[in-house]
Chain A
Amino acid sequence: MQKNKDLRKIAFLSGNEAFALGASESAVRVASAYPGTPSTEILETLSTYKDIYTEWAPNEKVALEVALGASIAGVRAMASMKHVGLNVAADPLFTASYTGVRGGLVVIVADDPQMHSSQNEQDSRNYAMASKIPMLEPSEPEECRAFIREAFRISEEFDTPVLVRTTTRVSHVKGIVYPERKKKRSVDAGLVKMPEKFVMLPAHARKRRIFIEERLRKLKEFAETFSSNRIEWGDNETGFITSGVSYLYVKEAFPGASVLKLALVYPLPERMIKEFARKVKRLYIVEELDPFIELHVKAMGVKCIGKEIIPSYYELNTAQLKEAVIGEKKEIFPSVNIPLRPPVMCPGCPHRGIFYNLSRLKVFVTGDIGCYTLGALKPLSAMDTCICMGAGIGNALGIEKALGEDALGKVVAVIGDSTFVHSGITPLIDIVYNRGFTTVIILDNRTTAMTGHQPNPATGRTAMGTETVELDIAALCRAIGVKNVVTINPHDIDNTYRVIREEIKRPEPSVIISRAPCALLPEVRKAKRPGYTVIEETCTGCRICLKLGCPAIDWVKIDRDEAKRRGREKQKGYARISAVLCNGCGECEMVCKFDAIVEEGQDGRD
């Protein structure tokens, strides 16, 4: 236990922080990203380093295009995103494989097995094969740092973008990291015209297509000797081929077994795999999600066991591996049935006023990705679709086109400010262009809230903290051709109801911008408004305020005697507001029909 002695030489970092450190050590000059769990902290951390230009792009496609541009200009560049973001960035990715790079280009993609914070599960390793781009996969924070250095080296040596794949349990795990000195890199920055390399006309692309084959052949050779692809010999009874976080589960479950740990998951070191397979009696492939390595190994004619016993969905864990491989099952306490504690919209959340009213209007709500997706949960229950960034607007138009006039007044699309900029503008153009009558509500809470408050083009601030031009969403919608654009304060419950009801009946496109800052923004927290309180004797127990789903309001049961004493025999209880949690938005006061909710200090008591 000597290794931690010199505390100055180690750091305790998350995988994402270690990626940023590795990028800094590699002398990255330009980094672009769009926030998305579990990838967000990579750029967030990077923006705290000096000498690196960092930015939040409007979406992942733009982020990758910016990074590629920087590479074309000769500097090292990086783009980072979550798995679904790579779908958005897939277009430039596939052609960047053809152009290759000038400055090193690394794309970090964060998969989310188990869908902790995602709408689907994707295995991004498939993108490496599909785009013919090499992919590295670290297992823990120290490798996150070291592999970024390797990735840039490979990128420049082989003239290729390099994908680095992480998962939630790599990105959000903290471990000990050993920082190294920053690489000195002679920057070859400048404009060099290389049309045969960077102008992908068919004639040029056909030549580059051959280059890619040659590159892959060289990368396969490299994979055989790449020191991070390594065999850890143990007994020769069982051998495991594994990578990423799965390697850690294998080591924990079977400390004595032989392990082939793959750092480069594409292309694979075939000779190394064959040699390893020859020396072990039983070969297992352990990988989360798709049988990516397994299919390759089986295609090589090597006998192995993989998805026959190991699930191809959700995260893996040590206990599951022990059970699958050696049938060892630990007796554990069964879980007990207790009330769930799901995430909820915060007290004072500006989304609440919108979803409360959408719930009252009983409309079909095509939703989107953000905190407001929580509007689908009880008691608001006011979201009917959630597919991907921007999908809500296109979905609404499709529903209208399918149902015609019958859909008028019955469908509303909701989308956040950051999400609108990401992917909502083009479908809004579709609505205007193709004469739809959709009502789109843009939930402008002045930040990208779900991922932890990143600025976006509509906030007037950059990732590096500087002030910038603020995108005028209302003017943008008008420029697209939406004639009816109205901005409301969602905390004003009655006005919000009235405006939504009017706009959905309109037989032409309309946009409602619901504008109020996220309740968790520091400036909102500081400017704490006076809270509200319930006048217990006035409360009739009608429960209407509970329909807001505000965590600050709870329900106190009363018995029959108590109800009698209050003169309302049928009353079952009354509402109560927590002074600690109440943020003073006042929505409950507006929905109370009995004036039982008042600003604190106005209840006639001291």
Chain B
Amino acid sequence: MAETKNILFCGVGGQGILLASEVTSEALIRAGFDVKKSEVHGMAQRGGAVEAHLRYGDRVYSPLIEPGSVDVEVAFELLESLRYLPYLNTSSRVIVNTQRILPPAVATGLESYPDNIVDELKKRGIEVLPVNAFDMAKRLGEVRAVNMILVGVLSGYLPVEEDVFIEVIKERVKKAFVDINIKAFREGRNLKF
């Protein structure tokens, strides 16, 4: 029996986290897994911290990831990668978009943005894969493609064929954005660390 695996998506409202977790879920289902995905609605568009728990295996019961048991964390924003530290363990892998989005207290100069985030994770024995997804997406001409770049990176660590992801992207993304999203996905998937 395949053990249930845990992927934690996190970032800031408006970064396309829900679509990324959706595409990943669909791909895992097509690869034959049972999948559960949990998210909290209501505040997603209001700039707050957003998280989605994705679990896959033969039979997934709990919709929530237990603290200390994330296999892969996909952080859409640098600071957010550190917020969910209690969910990680020494064998977790963290894919992190190194883009910074300032929280309100930082933007108004009341607090400062921590500057050694990747090291904070690494010194705890966590494997960190930093991705400059925002600049990559800008070069592709579509800043909203950040999410597919990160899904591309993530896909390299999942037991799903590349074609399955491409198929899902074609079905789930608005027609006008399919090509750019596939391009973004491939760029992410082909990144070397």
Contact A341 B85 (CB under 8 A): no
* Alpha-carbon gap, A5 to B36, bound state (A): 17
Contact B86 A333 (CB under 8 A): yes
* Alpha-carbon gap, A555 to B104, bound state (A): 10
Interface residue? B94 (CB, 8 A): no
Cβ proximity bits A479-496 to B, threshold 8 Å, 1 near / 0 not: 000000000000000000
Q: Which residue of B lies closest to A170 (CB)?
A: B63
Where the two chains meet, the residues of B that have a C-beta atom closer than 8 Å to any C-beta of A are: 2, 12-13, 25-26, 29-30, 32-43, 45-49, 58, 60-64, 66-69, 79-80, 82-83, 85-89, 102-109, 111, 113-114, 120, 124
Contact A175 B36 (CB under 8 A): yes
Jot down 7 A-B pairs with beta carbons below 8 A, ordered by A.
A1-B33, A12-B29, A174-B37, A333-B85, A334-B85, A338-B83, A555-B109
Chain A interface, >50% SS class? loop
Interface residue? A452 (CB, 8 A): yes
Chain B interface, >50% SS class? loop
Stretch of A22-30, A213-221, A247-255, A391-399 contacting B (4+ beta carbons < 8 Å):
A247-255
* Alpha-carbon gap, A557 to B110, bound state (A): 11
CB < 8 Å neighbour of A553 from B34, B85, B107: B107
- Shortest B42–chain A CB gap in Å is 4
Where the two chains meet, the residues of A that have a C-beta atom closer than 8 Å to any C-beta of B are: 1-2, 4-5, 7, 10, 12, 37-38, 40-41, 116-117, 140, 168-169, 172-176, 245, 248-249, 251-252, 317-319, 330-336, 338-346, 371, 374, 379, 450-452, 520, 546, 549, 551, 553-555, 557, 573
- Shortest B110–chain A CB gap in Å is 9
Q: Which residues of B contact A249 (CB under 8 A)?
A: 61-62
Contact A317 B38 (CB under 8 A): no
- Shortest A442–chain B CB gap in Å is 21
* Alpha-carbon gap, A553 to B105, bound state (A): 12
* Alpha-carbon gap, A116 to B51, bound state (A): 13
CB < 8 Å neighbour of A252 from B48, B61, B79: B61
Contact B107 A554 (CB under 8 A): yes
Q: Which residue of A lies closest to B50 (CB)?
A: A341
- Shortest B8–chain A CB gap in Å is 13
Contact A341 B41 (CB under 8 A): no
* Alpha-carbon gap, A344 to B113, bound state (A): 18
Contact B29 A317 (CB under 8 A): no
Contact A319 B34 (CB under 8 A): no
Listed residue (B13, B25, B63) with the most chain A CB atoms within 10 angstroms of its CB: B63
Q: Give 19 A-B pairs besides A336-B82, A341-B83 with Cβ atoms closer than 8 angstroms.
A: A10-B29, A12-B25, A172-B38, A173-B37, A173-B38, A175-B60, A330-B67, A332-B86, A334-B85, A335-B85, A336-B85, A339-B111, A341-B80, A341-B104, A342-B48, A452-B41, A546-B109, A554-B107, A557-B109
Q: Which residue of B lies closest to A139 (CB)?
A: B61
* Alpha-carbon gap, A317 to B89, bound state (A): 18
Contact B43 A317 (CB under 8 A): no
Q: Which residue of B lies closest to A371 (CB)?
A: B46
Contact A555 B107 (CB under 8 A): yes
* Alpha-carbon gap, A169 to B89, bound state (A): 24
Contact A344 B47 (CB under 8 A): yes
Q: Which residue of B lies closest to A377 (CB)?
A: B104
Contact A117 B12 (CB under 8 A): no
CB < 8 Å neighbour of A248 from B41, B48, B63: B63
Q: Which residues of B contact A245 (CB under 8 A)?
A: 63
Q: Which residues of B contact A338 (CB under 8 A)?
A: 79, 82-83, 114
Contact A340 B103 (CB under 8 A): yes
Q: Which residues of B contact A252 (CB under 8 A)?
A: 61-62
* Alpha-carbon gap, A97 to B67, bound state (A): 43
Q: Which residues of A contact B124 (CB under 8 A)?
A: 333
Q: Which residue of A lies closest to B80 (CB)?
A: A341
CB < 8 Å neighbour of A1 from B32, B46, B89: B32
Contact A116 B40 (CB under 8 A): yes
- Shortest A451–chain B CB gap in Å is 7
Contact B109 A336 (CB under 8 A): no
Q: Which residue of A lies closest to B124 (CB)?
A: A333
* Alpha-carbon gap, A40 to B42, bound state (A): 10
Q: Which residues of B contact A342 (CB under 8 A)?
A: 48, 104
Contact A38 B41 (CB under 8 A): yes
Contact B43 A335 (CB under 8 A): no
Q: Which residues of B contact A546 (CB under 8 A)?
A: 108-109
Q: Given A10-B29, A251-B61, A554 and B36 touching (CB < 8 A)? A: no
- Shortest A351–chain B CB gap in Å is 12
* Alpha-carbon gap, A2 to B34, bound state (A): 10
Q: Given A12-B25, A37-B42, A336 and B104 touching (CB < 8 A)? A: no
Q: Which residue of A lies closest to B104 (CB)?
A: A344
Q: Given A169-B38, A248-B62, A251-B61, A4 and B47 touching (CB < 8 A)? A: no
Contact A174 B47 (CB under 8 A): no
* Alpha-carbon gap, A213 to B100, bound state (A): 62
Q: Which residues of A contact B41 (CB under 8 A)?
A: 37-38, 40-41, 117, 172, 452
- Shortest B35–chain A CB gap in Å is 7
Q: Which residue of A lies closest to B34 (CB)?
A: A176
Q: Given A338-B79, A344-B48, A169 and B86 touching (CB < 8 A)? A: no
Contact A339 B45 (CB under 8 A): no
- Shortest A514–chain B CB gap in Å is 19
* Alpha-carbon gap, A5 to B103, bound state (A): 44
* Alpha-carbon gap, A318 to B53, bound state (A): 14
Contact B64 A318 (CB under 8 A): yes
Q: Given A173-B37, A175-B36, A248 and B61 touching (CB < 8 A)? A: yes
Q: Given A38-B41, A342-B48, A4 and B66 touching (CB < 8 A)? A: no
* Alpha-carbon gap, A37 to B104, bound state (A): 25
Q: Which residues of A contact B68 (CB under 8 A)?
A: 319, 330-333
* Alpha-carbon gap, A94 to B64, bound state (A): 35
Contact A174 B36 (CB under 8 A): yes
- Shortest B71–chain A CB gap in Å is 15
Q: Which residues of B contact A335 (CB under 8 A)?
A: 83, 85-86
Q: Which residue of B lies closest to A7 (CB)?
A: B30
- Shortest A541–chain B CB gap in Å is 10
CB < 8 Å neighbour of A175 from B13, B30, B35, B47: B35
Contact B48 A341 (CB under 8 A): yes
* Alpha-carbon gap, A434 to B43, bound state (A): 38
Contact B36 A318 (CB under 8 A): no
Listed residue (B87, B102, B108, B114) with the most chain A CB atoms within 10 angstroms of its CB: B108
Q: Which residues of B contact A12 (CB under 8 A)?
A: 25-26, 29, 35
- Shortest B47–chain A CB gap in Å is 5
Q: Which residue of A lies closest to B112 (CB)?
A: A339
Q: Given A176-B34, A339-B105, A340-B103, A346 and B29 touching (CB < 8 A)? A: no
Contact B49 A172 (CB under 8 A): no
Contact A4 B29 (CB under 8 A): yes
Q: Which residues of A contact B35 (CB under 8 A)?
A: 12, 174-176
Q: Given A252-B62, A340-B105, A343-B13, A4 and B30 touching (CB < 8 A)? A: yes
Q: Which residue of A lies closest to B69 (CB)?
A: A330
